Structure 1
Amino acid sequence: MAQLGWFKGPGGLLTGLDRVVLRLRAKKPPAADAMVGAAGHVVTPIPRGGYGEVLFSVRGRPLKYAARAHTPLALGARVRVSSALSPSAIEVARLGPAADTCP
C-alpha cells in the first residue's frame, strides 16, 4: 500500500479531485425556486406579457435570471421574486419606494 502514496493523502490525486468537486458545487448558481423572496433590480426591461432580466447578488457574485411580471417594469426597478417559473426563470413583483432604502 505504500506505493499508493501519490494517490491518497495530502496533495494526492483524490485530494485534488475532492477540491475540484467542491469548487464546481460552489460555482453552481441556485435554482430559481431558491430565489423566492430575494430582492434584485431589473437590468433588461420587462414588457407586458414578455420576459426581461433581473440581477441579484448571491454570495457576492452577480446573478441574472429571466423574469416575468404582471405589470411592465422599467430598467432599474427594484423587485422581489414571488415564484419560480422554471429552473432559470422567475416571476417578480415591484418593491415599493420604502423598500428602496433596504439593503
Structure 2
Amino acid sequence: MDAATVVFLLIGGAGALVLALSLVGAELLHLAHLDLPDFFSVEAVAGFVGALGFAGAITSELLGARTPGAITVAAGVGVLAALPTAYLAVRLSRAARDMRTDATPTRADLVGTLGVVVTPITATGYGEVRVRLGGHPIKVYAKADRPLPAGAEIFVVEAPSETSVVVEPVHPLS
C-alpha cells in the first residue's frame, strides 16, 4: 500500500469518526454557535471528508499513485465523489431534522381511555391499572370511589397527575 493511499484512508477515517461523534452527540462538536449554511454542517463536512478520503484511497490504489500527477488525479476523483456525498448528507439530515412527529402524550390524554385493573384498588388507597395511550400500554396508579378487583375493566374519568388516575368500572359490580 502506497503512502498516498494511507493518507487518503486516514482522511476518510477522520470523516467517519466525525460522523460517528455527531451521531452520538452533535452538541459536543458545536464549540461555537455560528449560523452557517447547511453545507457547513457537521454531517456535510463529515460526508465530504469521508468520501474524499475513501474515494481518493480507492483511486490511489487502483492507479498505484507514486507520482504527484497520479496523486492529484486520485484527489480529484475524491472531490468528485465527495460533493454529491456532502449534498446527500445535507438533504438526509435536513429531512430527519424536519420530520413531523406525533405530539407527546400528556395526562389529559389519559382521560377517556379504557383499561383493566392490574393491582386491586382498595377503598382507601391506590391500586394499579393498565391503559393504552398512543398505542402503548402503560401502567399508572389508580383510585376509585369503591374497591375494584384485579381484572375489572375501567374507564378513566380524571388524571390528577402524570402517574395517577381516577377510574370508574365499565361494568357495574354486584
TM-score by length of 2: 0.44
Q: Offset of 1:16 from its aligned partner?
A: 4.7
Count of residues in correspondence between the two structures: 91
User: Which residue does the alignment assign to 1:38?
Assistant: 113
2:36 pairs with 1:4: no
Distance in 2 between the 1:51 and 1:91 partners?
9
Alpha-carbon RMSD? 2.9
Task: Return the alpha-carbon distance in structure 2 between the equivalents of residues 95 and 82 of structure 1.
Answer: 11
Distance 2:117 2:109 in 1: 19
Shift in Å, 1:50: 0.6
What amino acid is aligned across from residue 63 of structure 1 in structure 2? I
Contact 2:38 2:90 in 1 (8 A): no
Unaligned 5+ runs, structure 2:
1-36, 46-88
Unaligned runs of 5+ residues in structure 1 are: 98-103
Find the aligned partners of 1:49 and 1:92 in 2 and give their Cα distance: 14
Q: Distance in 2 between matches of 1:60 and 1:85?
A: 22
Question: Structure 1 segments of 4 or more deviating over 4 A?
Answer: 14-19
Q: Alignment partner of 1:34: what SS? A: helix
Q: Which has the higher contact order (CA 8 A, sep 6+)?
A: 1
| Bigger helix share | 2
Deviates more, 1:41-50 or 1:56-65: 56-65
Per-residue CA distance 1:29-74 (angstroms, 9 max, x = gap): x222221111111011111111111111223321111110010111
Specify the alignment match of 1:83 in structure 2: 158
